[in-house]
Structure 1
Amino acid sequence: MERVRPQAESLREQALGIIRDAITSGELAEDRIYSAAGLAKQLGISLSPVREAMMALVTEGTVEAVPNRGFRLVTITEADLEEIIAIRVLLAVPAARSLAEAGSEDIVGRNQRAGEDAASGSATKAVAVTRLRGLAEATVTAVEAGDYAEFYTQDRRFHEALLEHGLGGRAAAISLRLRDQSRLYRRQDQIGAIAEDSARELPKIVDLIESGNAAEAAELVTSNLYFFKRVPADADG
């Protein structure tokens, strides 16, 4: 299955993005060992960038190397998942609050520190809201079509954008590494209605951010990150 990534990315970054999406969507399973060559063929990308990307994921703790065989995803326990989500909430809540509370002066200052033109500051929140709304709508569209792999991918991109605009690229990178390790798709046999509810929360989060309602935006972001808790207790069976 060939994928398209932004042209500005290096081959390694493209491969890493594609592999992250495959992990998020459940296309790569925890109980299999993957060779770099096999992954390159499966994902429709070049071998060398795949090797580099997989070694980067080993360093992050998402993947482990199996000597003379290849790579496999690190198994995540329920306790691991709880810890991962708790940390992601610590990042996502201030990101949502920052965006909701942002005024043009605050954003201008942030852009100037980042070396951007101050004149673009007043439009930054609008740009963020537009991007987030587009990703939120794509997530809803995917889940309504029953495409849960695409749902997980678009949901991941929504939360990446929220962190990027609210706190910055470093916070987004940390949260994404944790997201890749959580692999919520393991419960997809009972995820239908729950995924739909989760997806429909994203446009509401955008509305709250746009209207400046920081408290409710933070509360809904937290609930959204913990959506796996809505799965019945016997779903593990």
Structure 2
Amino acid sequence: MHEAAHAPVSKESWVPAVPAQKVLRHSVRGQVLDALRAALVDGELAPGQIYSGPALGERFGVSATPVREAMQQLALEGAVECLPNRGFRVLSGTPRALAELAEVRALLEVPVMLRLARTVPPATWEALRPAALATAEAAAAGDLPAYADADRAFHRAVLSLAGNAQLVRIAEELHRRAQWPLPGAPRVRRADLVADAAEHSALLEALVAQDLPVVESLVREHFAGSAGC
């Protein structure tokens, strides 16, 4: 008696099974990481303070494990340091470090912006209007974490037009670090966020017009005088 023939499984249709528990754990860790990043930007996690995994887990309604995993990611990003048997200390930035970040971002992004201004058609820039509008809406609401996310999304959308994934990744990391508040700094005012967001629309106008001097001036000023963004 011959065994029944089995139909071959195509590479296109076969997807390896992923345990639901693993997916859920990754999802929880990602959500906690997003919440911790928002708390850093908003100043809820204060520079110099020590936070324990169990205490933060209780705050977010999760176990300490995804909190520790998220904090380890933040340690890699330079936001916190791990203290064995104690928890995690939020690192304190300095005005000098913030200025250095602005300088490095300008060195990376200004040449790219100028090249894109010469080569990208106006219709492509017009398609980024919703991204600029999202920053304006978050700014008008005075929602600093939402503004930080929208601001990074706008810059990411612009830089992605260069077709260089490594550039986008490095610029995003620098951008995120620039958004962490300085110790003792007053909370960013809504008016500052609104002014910062307006520079995105002005930049799009200059890019559409291929006005290179204005593009360069706006990008440099945006980094040097932005509301931590």
TM-score, normalised via structure 2 length: 0.71
Is 1:31 paired with 2:31? no
Range moving further from structure 2, 194-203 or 34-43: 34-43
**Are 2:206 and 2:212, in contact at CA under 8 Å, matched by a contact in 1?**
yes
Structural mapping, 1:27-106, within 5 Å? 27-43=44-60, 47-103=64-120
**What does residue 202 of structure 2 align with?**
204
Q: What percentage of residue pairs aligned between the two structures are identical?
A: 32
Structural mapping, 1:123-138, within 5 Å? 126=124, 129-130=126-127, 132-138=128-134
> Structure 2 vs 1, CA of residues 192 and 184 (structure 1 numbering), >3 Å: closer, same or farther?
farther
**Are 2:140 and 2:190, in contact at CA under 8 Å, matched by a contact in 1?**
no
What is the identity, as a one-letter code, of the residue corresponding to 1:39?
Answer: L
Structural mapping, 1:146-165, within 5 Å? 146-165=142-161
**Are 2:142 and 2:193, in contact at CA under 8 Å, matched by a contact in 1?**
no
Q: More helix by proportion, 1 or 2?
A: 1
- The alignment partner of 1:68 has SS state of coil
Residue 28 of structure 1 deviates from its aligned partner by 2.6
**Are 1:95 and 1:163, in contact at CA under 8 Å, matched by a contact in 2?**
yes
Residue 103 of structure 1 deviates from its aligned partner by 4.4
> Structure 2 vs 1, CA of residues 28 and 98 (structure 1 numbering), >3 Å: closer, same or farther?
farther
Residue 30 of structure 1 deviates from its aligned partner by 1.3
**Are 1:25 and 1:152, in contact at CA under 8 Å, matched by a contact in 2?**
no
Deviations 1:37-79 (A, max 9, x none): 4434545667544433322222232221122122122211111
Deviations 1:175-198 (A, max 9, x none): 232233334544444633332211
Residue 144 of structure 1 deviates from its aligned partner by 1.7
CA distance in 1, matches of 2:111, 2:60: 35
What is the identity, as a one-letter code, of the residue corresponding to 1:221?
Answer: V
Structure exhibiting the larger radius of gyration computed from Cα positions: 2
- The alignment partner of 1:99 has SS state of helix
> Structure 2 vs 1, CA of residues 15 and 102 (structure 1 numbering), >3 Å: closer, same or farther?
farther
Residue 129 of structure 1 deviates from its aligned partner by 4.7
- The alignment partner of 2:45 has SS state of coil
**What does residue 36 of structure 2 align with?**
19
**Are 2:142 and 2:189, in contact at CA under 8 Å, matched by a contact in 1?**
no
**What does residue 224 of structure 2 align with?**
226
The correspondence for 2:166, drawn from 167, 170, 173, is 170
CA distance in 1, matches of 2:115, 2:136: 25
**What does residue 142 of structure 1 align with?**
138
What is the identity, as a one-letter code, of the residue corresponding to 1:77?
Answer: T
CA distance in 1, matches of 2:60, 2:225: 29
Q: CA-atom RMSD, angstroms?
A: 3.2
Is 1:179 paired with 2:180? no
Residue 204 of structure 1 deviates from its aligned partner by 1.2
Deviations 1:113-153 (A, max 9, x none): xxxxxxxxxx9x72x652x3222211111222232332233
CA distance in 1, matches of 2:132, 2:224: 17
Number of equivalenced pairs? 201
CA distance in 1, matches of 2:167, 2:35: 20
**What does residue 109 of structure 1 align with?**
none
Unaligned stretches of 5+ residues in structure 1: 1-6, 105-122, 231-237
**Are 2:93 and 2:181, in contact at CA under 8 Å, matched by a contact in 1?**
no
CA distance in 2, matches of 1:21, 1:192: 17
CA distance in 2, matches of 1:156, 1:229: 13
Unaligned stretches of 5+ residues in structure 2: 1-22
TM-score, normalised via structure 1 length: 0.69
- The alignment partner of 1:166 has SS state of coil
Residue 96 of structure 1 deviates from its aligned partner by 1.8
CA distance in 2, matches of 1:190, 1:80: 18
